[in-house]
Amino acid sequence: MIDYYTITKPYWLINPASQVKGPSLLRVDINVPVINGRIVEDNLRLKVYSEIISLLAEHSGVVVVSHQGRKGTESFISLRQHWIVLRKALPSDIDIDFVPYHELFSRDTRERIRNLGSREVLLIDNIRMMREEKNFNATDSQFIRFFRGIIGTCINDAMPVWHRAHTSVMALPYIAPTLIGMRAIFELKTLREALESKKSEAGIVMGGAKLAKTNYLVKILEKMDGFTGGLPGQLIARLKGYDLGEKNNRFIENRFSPDMIDAARVLIKKFNIHHPMDFIVRENDENREVKLEDLKGTKGYIMDVGPETVEKYAEALQTKSTRIRAGPLGVYEKGYTNGIELTKRIIGVGLIFLGGDTAEEVVMYGLDKAIYSSGGLICLSGGAFLHGLAGKRYPSIDILIEKEMSKNY
């Protein structure tokens, strides 16, 4: 187990007034869902990072770097909409401006950064537009050359992307003294507490549209019991011999690659993974509760786990002091809310929600405040949290420690 919470302590950002020399370069993750070309504005990541930006801007000018979506997908867009949302969210005395990507490496932008004062923020456009983002090379990096010499402090507060060796996180220690951001410290603490749980006292509910990497799940399921919903739940049930109905069988076969199906078979043989016992099926414009063994006669699509599954999962999870939810259990965007019902049943201290669609689900249904109030936690990192839970390394943090020890900028 790699205790990043402890080993990063010398680099924690605790007191911006004394630790941050401006202008600062802040890497965050405001990558949010996009529907019909518009970002989902009521998003937890935008809310959290607007607070972080506000705190830092009190003491220095801030250059904010983030990405949005993946190339070739609907969500790969400019950050201009994010700028508008942040402008509304930040206090009125903080001035935030936007730098389109085609202006990023210009002399004018460099001078603007050099002259940034407190309560002044520049949001850089989608950094995944940068050719070198996914191909980090410290000796030939335009990103490093551009920012080195004008940035006083770098802050890595983008734990959701720590499992990726991308330039915008890897390059920070090559630019200026680098600190671990406040939100990242909180999520590292949450990760450490999850790693310290006894297997008998921990459970993870895995939903969403895909299974995590097999080598992740082997390590994770060695540490805690696994419960599935969403497409992973359907796949596990199917591989255990259940007929899910013609449409759902075909959908599963098309959605999961042969390698992923083979990997799921390995997991089934090695672990007792729980799968749903009933589902909500949309058939003839109506929703039906259908037992798992009766699915073979249905002609509709599975939209959610059923109430019996909620009951059984809640009963099993109430004995767990650590309860992790990773991925939705149904199509929550269309009003299928048994995942929310399960959350209400297991809410309280020890509940950890992981980022992405899982966090979006609870915000959409107004359950985020109840989770916080009852002692639960919501993390912005999803895949990166699972990466750490599986005992894998964070390359940008390893290089931070290496560079800080050498003090070579």
Per residue in 98-156, pLDDT (tens digit) is 999 999 999 999 999 999 999 999 999 999 999 999 999 999 999 999 999 999 999 99
pLDDT in the model for residue 294: 96
pLDDT at 278 over 70: yes
Return all residues near 397 (Cβ < 8 A) that are at least 6 apart. Answer: 4, 8, 156, 162, 180
Sequence-distant (≥ 6) Cβ neighbours of residue 14 within 8 angstroms: 182
List Cα–Cα distances, 280 to 4, 168, 317, in angstroms: 41, 43, 21
* Greatest Cα pair distance in the chain: 68
Work out the average pLDDT over 81-98.
Answer: 97
User: What's the pLDDT score for residue 362?
Assistant: 86
User: Shortest CA distance to 280 belongs to which of 271, 267, 289, 292?
Assistant: 289
pLDDT band with cut points at 50, 70 and 90 for residue 212: low
Mean pLDDT for the chain overall: 93
Please give the model's pTM, rounded to 2 decimal places: 0.92
| pLDDT band at residue 263 using 50, 70 and 90 as cut-offs | confident
Mode of pairing for the β-strands spanning 351-353 and 301-305 = unpaired
pLDDT confidence of residue 373? 95
pLDDT confidence tier of residue 42, bands split at 50, 70 and 90: confident
Sorting pLDDT into bands at 50, 70 and 90, what band is 210?
Answer: low
Residue 35: per-residue pLDDT: 87
Q: What was the pLDDT predicted at 358?
A: 74
**pLDDT at residue 76, rounded to an integer:** 96
DSSP secondary structure, 223-249, as one string: TSEEEE-HHHHHHHHHHTT----HHHH
Work out the percent of the chain whose per-residue pLDDT is above 70: 98
> Picking from 80-94, 126-140, 208-222, which range would have the lowest pLDDT averaged per residue?
208-222
**How much is the pLDDT for 259?**
85
pLDDT at 408: 56
Whether the Cβ atoms of residue 204 and residue 227 lie closer than 8 Å to each other? yes
For 34-53, what is the mean pLDDT? 92
**Ordered structural domains, the chain, with CATH:** 4-183+393-406 (3.40.50.1260), 188-389 (3.40.50.1260)
pLDDT at 211 over 80: no
Residue with tokens 């749903």: 276
Integer CA distances (angstroms), 270 to 219, 322, 355, 362, 398, in order: 11, 22, 27, 32, 32
Instruction: Give the C-alpha separation, 271 to 387, whole Å.
Output: 19
Q: What tokens appear for 49 in the block?
A: 């990072």
Going through 312-350 in order, the beta strands assigned E by DSSP cover: 322-326
Give the pLDDT band of residue 214 (cuts 50, 70, 90).
low
- Give me the percent of the chain exceeding a pLDDT of 90: 84
